[in-house]
């Protein structure tokens, strides 16, 4: 029943590790494939076995983010299930739709501290969008089907179904239809789907836009999850409004579009943050004023006379920043209604001076680094990779400096090319997420840009890459340390590098990759060899591993320190900062040209 519901929901790949309490379901996958596989055909439901259950969870997350479908992972009880707590929380924090099916000891043994028993409902209840415990076998089929509905509807998220072994062994009639009764939830989802901007609300929005001279779209991951990239692009181009995106919103608008100012926030581009400082009307779409974006909230977008907010989750409206105009609904549908109203009412406010201003900001304060250094600068490596792939590769990352360099220096020409752990900041995310993405998109180039600290967390998944002969590319930027923490220690802790120096570690990543079956496994130590090595790496037909020994002191800039506002942004030695403005110029950035 479980596997047939998965098949009915369109699932073609399941990630998971077996064990006693989930064996009946694993056997069902075997029997399903045996009965549905034609001669010479591949299994209709691929079973991907990772090195660790955490890897299974992140593979499902990578699959979901790259494909837009619900990812599925299947693990056993006790430690198998508790190993997936981190992926579940990660998916919840980044609104990623997955269904996790966990085995459980038989119902009669629950609560007795039976072998490999864990209170999954209690543990996962605080981490997941919803948790189901199946105690009535006749509800099993409907429960699995409902889990998919909950995972993908509204604000997407992870759903856990805990299935005791006696529930799996039950034999009964398969109905092929039916859902659990969750009336209140469905009523909310129906209202969301039918949520329509009234004529009055549309008029109010365009009155604010008419009053504005410097509007700015602030787009988050909700635009990606809600498949609203087309509407974001059309809105920006129709009304000539510049766009900044969050870390999770990268790709909602082609980063090479002249209206795209790339990423804002703690490590956002200087020109994006300056645009936020200068705007007078901030339009938030699928974004939540996260602390890594808003920083010192009372100083965020200080010249914005009005803030508008579109989000699918009513709880996000006014949670961090009070707004003058808001709408709870799907990002794409909401923007479409505004676009149609604007066209119908022939809205034609000229924002050309503002667009000219932000483009001047981009020219005057571009991303930059020490291009003359004899040491390999990570920015250069990422920049070259993006050039080779034309910003069309799927890129996953771990967490740390390499993650920020990838976000800053990679182009993303379309949505669902950028896979990273945003809110949770989970080291070890990159490699398994890349595996999941490659299964979801077998014809795309998939690159895991990783750090030596992050990749250690799930290093065992290198073998998963070669086990399934996946053409995943692993680019390791090795600075022999936990670079981001070291940067903070350098700035705020008197260079006391407590616990972050990895120079004594003896891991030979090339030998590790070779031992796991990588035929392409190279190390680059000379700057002159980077371009050729990257080209060979990208063009290699199978799994490829490239380690680049980067400048250990390279830092991520710009940087807005914790608890600080954008005015305190540090741009470092190689990015030009602008002088603080005062008086009339501070009140209206368009009165005089940018000082630089």
Residues labelled catalytic = 53, 115-116, 165, 484
- Residues 386 and 379: their CA atoms lie apart, in Å, by 11
Answer yes or no: are the C-beta atoms of 514 and 521 closer than 8 Å. yes
Answer yes or no: are the C-beta atoms of 378 and 402 closer than 8 Å. yes
What secondary structure, in 3-state letters, does 101-132 show?
A: EEEECCHHHCCCCCCCCCCHHHHHHCCCCEEE
CA atoms within 13 A on the CB side of 203: 3
Distances (CA, A) of 142 to 1, 124, 572: 10, 20, 56
State the virtual CA torsion across 84, 90, 94, 95 in degrees, nearest 10.
30
Q: Are strands 130-133 and 243-245 parallel, antiparallel or unpaired?
A: unpaired
Task: Write out the E strands in 411-556.
Answer: 418-419, 446-451, 473-478, 520-524, 544-549
Cβ within 8 Å of residue 100, ≥6 positions away: 57, 60, 72, 73, 74, 75, 84, 87, 88, 128, 158, 159, 160, 161
- Residues 282 and 321: their CA atoms lie apart, in Å, by 11
Q: What angle do CA 136, 141, 143 make, to 5 degrees?
A: 70
Nearest to 54 by CA among 35, 37, 73: 73
- Under DSSP, the state recorded for 37 is P
Answer yes or no: are the C-beta atoms of 562 and 292 closer than 8 Å. no
- 388: exposed, middle or buried (C-beta count within 10 Å: 0-12, 13-18, 19+)? middle
Residue entry with tokens 């009412």: 345
What DSSP letter does each residue of 304-339 carry, written as one string?
-SEEEEEES-GGGTTTSS--SEEEES-HHHHHHHHH
Nearest to 446 by CA among 69, 98, 171, 59: 59
Q: Are strands 98-104 and 158-164 parallel, antiparallel or unpaired?
A: parallel
């Amino acid at each position: 029943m479980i596997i047939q519901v998965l098949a009915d929901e369109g699932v073609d790949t399941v990630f998971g590790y077996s064990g006693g309490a989930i064996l009946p379901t694993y056997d069902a996958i075997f029997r399903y494939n045996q009965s549905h596989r034609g001669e010479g055909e591949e299994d209709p439901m691929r079973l991907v076995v990772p090195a660790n259950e955490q890897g299974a969870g992140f593979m499902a997350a990578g699959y979901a983010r790259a494909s837009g479908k619900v990812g599925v992972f299947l693990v056993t009880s006790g430690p198998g299930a508790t190993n997936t707590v981190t992926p579940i929380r990660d998916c919840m924090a980044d609104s990623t739709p997955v269904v996790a099916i966990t085995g459980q000891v038989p119902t009669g043994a629950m609560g007795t501290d039976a072998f490999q028993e864990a209170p999954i409902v209690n543990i996962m209840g605080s981490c997941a969008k919803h948790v189901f415990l199946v105690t009535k076998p006749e509800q099993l089929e409907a429960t699995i089907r409902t889990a998919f509905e909950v995972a993908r509807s509204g604000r997407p998220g992870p759903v856990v179904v805990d299935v005791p072994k006696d529930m799996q062994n039950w034999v009964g009639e398969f109905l092929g239809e039916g859902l659990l009764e969750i009336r209140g939830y469905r009523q909310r989802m129906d209202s969301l789907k039918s949520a329509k901007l009234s004529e009055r609300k549309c008029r109010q929005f365009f009155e604010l836009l008419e009053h504005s001279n410097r509007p700015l779209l602030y787009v988050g991951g909700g635009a990606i999850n809600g498949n609203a990239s087309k509407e974001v692009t059309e809105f920006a181009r129709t009304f000539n409004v510049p766009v900044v995106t969050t870390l999770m919103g990268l790709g909602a608008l082609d980063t090479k579009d002249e209206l795209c100012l790339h990423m804002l926030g703690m490590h956002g581009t200087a020109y994006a943050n300056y645009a936020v400082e200068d705007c007078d009307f901030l339009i938030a779409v699928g974004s939540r004023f996260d602390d890594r974006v808003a920083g010192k909230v009372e100083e965020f977008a200080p010249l914005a006379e009005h803030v508008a907010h579109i989000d699918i989750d009513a709880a996000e409206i006014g949670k961090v920043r009070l707004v003058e105009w808001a709408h709870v609904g799907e990002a794409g549908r909401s923007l479409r209604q505004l676009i149609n109203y604007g066209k119908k009412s022939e809205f034609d406010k000229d924002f050309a001076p503002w667009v000219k201003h932000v483009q001047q900001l981009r020219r005057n304060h571009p991303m930059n680094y020490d291009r003359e250094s004899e040491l390999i600068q990570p920015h250069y490596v990422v920049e070259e990779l993006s050039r080779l792939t034309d910003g069309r590769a799927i890129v996953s990352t771990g967490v740390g400096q390499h993650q920020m360099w990838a976000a800053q220096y990679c182009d993303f020409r379309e949505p669902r090319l950028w896979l990273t752990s945003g809110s949770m900041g989970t080291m070890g995310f990159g490699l398994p997420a890349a595996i999941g993405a490659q299964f979801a998109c077998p014809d795309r180039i998939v690159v895991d840009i990783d750090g030596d600290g992050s990749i250690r967390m799930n290093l065992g998944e290198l073998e998963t890459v070669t086990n399934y002969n996946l053409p995943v590319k692993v680019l390791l930027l090795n600075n022999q340390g936990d670079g981001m923490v070291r940067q903070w220690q350098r700035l705020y802790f008197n260079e006391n590098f407590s616990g972050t120096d990895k120079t004594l570690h003896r891991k030979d990543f090339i030998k590790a990759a070779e031992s796991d079956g990588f035929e392409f496994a190279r190390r680059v130590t000379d700057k002159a060899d980077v371009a050729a090595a990257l080209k060979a790496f990208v063009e290699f037909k199978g799994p490829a591993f490239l380690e680049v020994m980067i400048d250990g002191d390279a830092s991520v800039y710009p940087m807005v320190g914790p608890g600080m506002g954008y005015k305190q942004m540090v741009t470092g030695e190689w990015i030009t900062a602008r002088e603080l403005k005062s008086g009339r110029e501070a009140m209206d950035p368009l009165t005089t040209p940018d000082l630089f």
